[in-house]
Chains A and B, each alone.
Chain A
Amino acid sequence: MTHLIAVYRQQLKTAIAEQLQYRAALVIWLIEVALGPAVSISVWSTVARNEGGEVNGYSPSGFAAYFIATMLVNYATQTWVFWEFSRRVREGEFSPLLLRPVHPIHADIAQHLAYKILMLPVIGLVTLILWLAFHAGFTPSTANLATFLPALLLAFALRFTLEWTLALLAFWLTQVNVINQLYVVVVLFLSGQLLPLSFLPAPLQAVTAWLPFQWMVAFPAQLLSTGLSAQAVVTGFLAQLIWLLLGLGLLSLTWRRGLKRYTAVGG
């Protein structure tokens, strides 16, 4: 355990130093982060105004609050392991990682944490700007915040586990980018990123109930923007935990089989 902590400390230090080299790139990525919610808020606010100020219980400022919260959750939980993995396997950069006496997942976790730490001030600024520009209406209570933070942490763990597992497909397929693209679209719609889940057609809503995606984004975002009933909070946490356990099981299974495959065809 102390060994792992030492590894993490060093990995974080290196990753931060590495990413600091690309400050300009970080700011550019940020435009992407900010633009998605800005578009969504604009579109739905227009709809709300057309329909007499409110649609499905959301006013323009309610939409603003929801999409800003979604952006924050998305920033905290987002990963880029898909691209990383297919690049690694393609360029033969995976082999050196395999020869280290530490599981490669730790390096990835540390890298993502480093990125999130670095981006924190910038995302704060974007939040403020969007909030002011779109007159977002939310004042999170302490109770909301108290449930939001653990939910966010679980959401990150869940999303990271799931996406790392999917990224392992690179061991079997040379072109995983299409799968990645499909996955991104599914997540976009079913996690609540593109629109609140209550706006989806009823059959799709029924589907989301049995999928892990809403627990990765919509659940924490709703906790932050509007708060949820005590019962919904408990359900949410339970769902997150169950999916996380399932995900971890799937991850270790896929990892073992993937390695077998990788070491059979050539590292």
Chain B
Amino acid sequence: MTAVAAVNVVHLRKVYRVYEREAGLGAALRALFQRQMQEIVGVDDLTFTIEPGEIIGFLGPNGAGKTTTLKMLAGLLYPSAGEVRVLGYIPWRRERAFLRQIALVMGQRQQLIWDIPVIDSFELNRAIYRIPPAQYRRMLDELADLLELAPLLHKPVRNLSLGERMKCEIAGSLLHRPQVLFLDEPTIGLDIVMQRRIRDFIREYNRRTGATVLLTSHYMADVEALCRRVILIHHGTMLFDGDLTRLVERFSPYKTIVVRLEEPADLRPYGEVLSQSEDQITLRVPKSAVARATARLLTDLPVLDLSVEDPPIETVIEQIFTQEEVV
């Protein structure tokens, strides 16, 4: 039997209709009586496939359509056009069998009940998802172990810190061992240590259960640590789908050359000087000119050390989005 793709999206499109709002007192008064409608394209013509067990990073600036896409995949939004299949199901039908195999984690305050201990919310999920007692206990132990939940389980949710709440929120949505996991900004607002812990956990969960994970994040560190493959969207359309390393190759026409010299020299003829400290200089050079520039540097100058690097992914992505903005 050939495995069903975890996620299959073809020509997906979503259009919203919203009311316009203008600034100013006059406009506010006018709006009391009549309002303008406006159509907004949230997502346009997305096509991609995700195989079981992959961890995919979903990147894009605010308002790019990431959350809209996640909601369509989870069955909360009805597509305007195109086709979506998750584990072979049509998400918006929200069949019980489908819902039992997925989880969507979106920010805080979702399934944990504010005023009662965490464990009681978990017990509720056990009943709702019909998790057999043995499996529930095993899963709870495992999650408690990986996320260090033991001291939190018997505290009311309102007494937990942001990070602790996020850990519990994630744990709660994994009790039923979903095969597909949608994570919207799982590390937002958390400190570095907690970010890393959640990151490690997601990787470990993926490794142990073979679950497919689709995550959006503002932090490139999340994406770099977890995802080999990324999907880049901007203004609702797909800019890139492929390996993270290829993203840099494809979108950055530059490389950086870091040179250490015996004595200071003017390197401006060799490329654009990005930074210059006492003996170390960073140059930005078009890809096609890298070989020539390196050769010339080595022959012309007393070079102590020289390395050619890709620019940081964060910079590349920032460039892509700002360039798009200009266009």
Contacts and interface: CB of A to CB of B under 8 A. Distances in A.
Interface string B185-207: 00000000000000000000000
B71 A267 contact: yes
A201 interface: no
B104 to A, nearest CB: 6
Interface string B40-52: 0000000000000
Contacts of B270: none
Interface stretch (A64-72, A91-99, A131-139, A218-226): A91-99
Interface stretch (B3-11, B119-127, B211-219, B246-254): B119-127
A14 B76 contact: no
Given A260-B78, A263-B92, A267-B76, A10 B99 contact: no
Interface in B43-78: 68, 71, 74-78
Contacts of B116: 14, 17-18, 21
B130 A3 contact: yes
A267 B69 CA distance: 12
A77 interface: no
Contact of B104 (A7, A14, A99): A99
Interface in B283-320: none
A11 interface: yes
Interface string B105-119: 010011101111000
Contacts of B68: 266
Nearest to B100: A101
Contact of A9 (B75, B99, B120, B127): B127
Nearest to B92: A263
Interface in A214-267: 260, 263-267
Contact of B128 (A22, A102, A266): A102
Contacts of A260: 78
A95 B76 contact: yes
Contact of A99 (B99, B114, B156): B99
B113 A18 contact: yes
A130 B232 CA distance: 67
A95 B116 CA distance: 21
Contacts of B74: 99
Contacts of A13: 120, 123
The residue in A6, A99, A102 that gathers the most chain B C-beta atoms within 10 A of its C-beta is A99
A99 B129 CA distance: 11
B16 A266 contact: yes
B96 interface: yes
Nearest to A91: B109
B94 interface: yes
A18 B113 CA distance: 8
A194 to B, nearest CB: 34
Contacts of A100: 99, 128-129
Interface string A70-111: 000000000000000000000001011011111000000000
A169 B128 CA distance: 26
List the 3 shortest-distance A-B pairs measured between CB atoms, nearest first. A267-B76, A10-B127, A101-B99
Interface of B: 16-17, 68, 71, 74-78, 92, 94, 96, 99-100, 102-104, 106, 109-111, 113-116, 120-121, 123-124, 126-130, 156
Interface of A: 3, 6-7, 9-11, 13-14, 17-18, 21-22, 93, 95-96, 98-102, 260, 263-267
24 contacts: A6-B127, A7-B128, A9-B127, A10-B124, A10-B126, A11-B127, A13-B123, A14-B113, A14-B124, A18-B114, A18-B115, A21-B115, A21-B156, A95-B71, A96-B104, A96-B111, A98-B76, A99-B76, A102-B128, A260-B78, A263-B78, A264-B77, A264-B78, A266-B16
